[in-house]
Amino acid sequence: MKVAVITFPGSNCDYDLFKAAQQVGGDAKFIWHRERGLNNYDAVLLPGGFSYGDYLRAGAIARMSPIMEDVIAFAKTGRPVLGICNGFQILCESGLLPGALMHNTSLKFESKDVMLRVDRTDTMFTKDYKTGQVLRIPIAHGEGNYGADDETLEALEDQGRVVFRYVDRDGELSDEANPNGSLNNIAGITNETGNVLGMMPHPERAMEKLLGSTDGLALFTSMAGSLQPS
Amino acid sequence: MNPYRIEVRVKPRPGLLDPQGKAIHHSLNSLGWEGVNDVSVGKAIYIDIDADSADNALATVEVMCRKLLANPVTEDFEVSVIDEMERTSS
């Protein structure tokens, strides 16, 4: 699995993603945002961070980067594109995913572990999880409050495109378990074809027992597994 | 071509949470201002642009708003000419 980790000025989770990709046997390369060409890759990862200092809006400037044209073309080929945190914000700004990520309702930057429920296991990112499985994964963001108009939200729900939701320890939805005010406790969604996933929580920070959780590992093994020729 | 200065006002869409407005509202209340019903915070962007008419300058900046300056999911925008700069000699 050849994996491109796109690095923008201000990305800060690029090494974590690089390491995560390597951990599941991926041949990872950093691609600077001004470079072009993703055709030889099997998967593209957009890391978290504060690209362009979050100027204008989080992700708004990064999506104008030359490489984003290639990321959009790559996504259209059906190969997996994963955006985490700022990567999710960039995917929304670029139109690869619908909706927007607004300021957390708490008015605070939230940096802590949250519980996530896996609602879809039929995606190339989640097939190694069990439906309804509850994961402990860290979040670290100020703008993770997912919002969309009613029509978009309905389409996401009807088409089963909400992959992860914030839940309590028992896997139940609640306002208390929602760290940022996201509609329907949405933590991660896919595009219509299911090959683009955006999520605010950081599975790449939950890869080592020593660091508190290995619940993110199955996301990367799922992706690697779905790229193996069967 | 004439130089124009365009003001773009980007505002949070009504009904959406505006945390900055909320924080400022609380501060105004705690400083003792009564009767403040709502505070919302947007941003102003100033663009100096050459165009053959004010209308064309505005039309161009509106395209910029749709493409980059505002996010239609969360923000509304207004554009206006604030200052017709002196025509530069050519």
Go through the domains of chain B in sequence order and give each one's CATH number: 2-83 (3.30.1280.10)
Predicted pLDDT of residue B86? 52
User: What are the tokens at B66?
Assistant: 């749709």
Within a 13 Å sphere around the CA of A61, how many CA atoms are in the beta-carbon half? 14
B71 touches chain A (CB under 8 A): yes
Of the residues A103, A105, A186, the best mutation for testing chain B's interface (the one with the most B CB atoms within 10 Å of its CB) is A103
Predicted pLDDT of residue A133? 98
A211 touches chain B (CB under 8 A): no
Name the CA radius of gyration of chain B, rounded: 17
Reported as a single tens digit per residue, the pLDDT across A174-226 is 999 999 999 999 999 999 999 999 999 999 999 999 988 999 999 999 999 99
Predicted pLDDT of residue B28? 96
A69 touches chain B (CB under 8 A): no
Predicted pLDDT of residue B81? 95
User: What are the tokens at A189?
Assistant: 């969604």
Reported as a single tens digit per residue, the pLDDT across A168-182 is 999 999 999 999 999
Residue B15 banded pLDDT, cuts 50, 70, 90: confident
Classified by CATH at the fold level, domain A2-227 comes out as Rossmann fold (3.40.50)
Pairing of strands A43-46, A2-7: parallel
A92 is catalytic: no
Predicted pLDDT of residue A162? 98
Give the torsion through C-alpha atoms of A126, A132, A136, A142, to 10 deg: 80
H helical segments located in chain B: 19-30, 54-64
B69 touches chain A (CB under 8 A): yes
ipTM here: 0.79
Reported as a single tens digit per residue, the pLDDT across A11-32 is 999 999 999 999 999 999 999 9
Backbone angles phi, psi at A204, to 5 degrees: -70, -10
Please state the rounded mean pLDDT for residues B23-36: 94
User: What are the tokens at A125?
Assistant: 């990112």
Distance from the B67 Cα atom to the nearest Cα atom in chain A, whole angstroms: 10
Predicted pLDDT of residue A39? 93
Reported as a single tens digit per residue, the pLDDT across A61-71 is 999 999 999 99
Predicted pLDDT of residue B3? 94
| Three-state secondary-structure class, residue A148 | coil
Residues of A in contact with B73 (CB under 8 A): 92, 99-100, 147-149
pLDDT higher than threshold 50 for residue A77? yes
pLDDT higher than threshold 90 for residue B19? no
| Cβ neighbours around B7 below 10 Å, total | 15
Task: Please give the residue that has the higher pLDDT: either A213 or B20.
Answer: A213
A202 is catalytic: yes
Predicted pLDDT of residue B78? 97
Distance between CA atoms of residues A174 and A184, nearest Å: 9
Element (H, E) at B89: none
In chain A, where the domains are located = 2-227
**Could you tell me if A162 and A189 are in contact, meaning their C-beta atoms sit under 8 angstroms apart?**
yes
pLDDT higher than threshold 80 for residue A228? no
Backbone angles phi, psi at A166, to 5 degrees: -75, 130
**Could you tell me if A85 and A13 are in contact, meaning their C-beta atoms sit under 8 angstroms apart?**
yes
Residue B89 banded pLDDT, cuts 50, 70, 90: very low
B16 touches chain A (CB under 8 A): yes
| Interface contact B71-A93, CB threshold 8 A | yes
Please state the rounded mean pLDDT for residues A118-140: 97
| Three-state secondary-structure class, residue B86 | coil
B-chain residue closest to A98, CA distance: B73
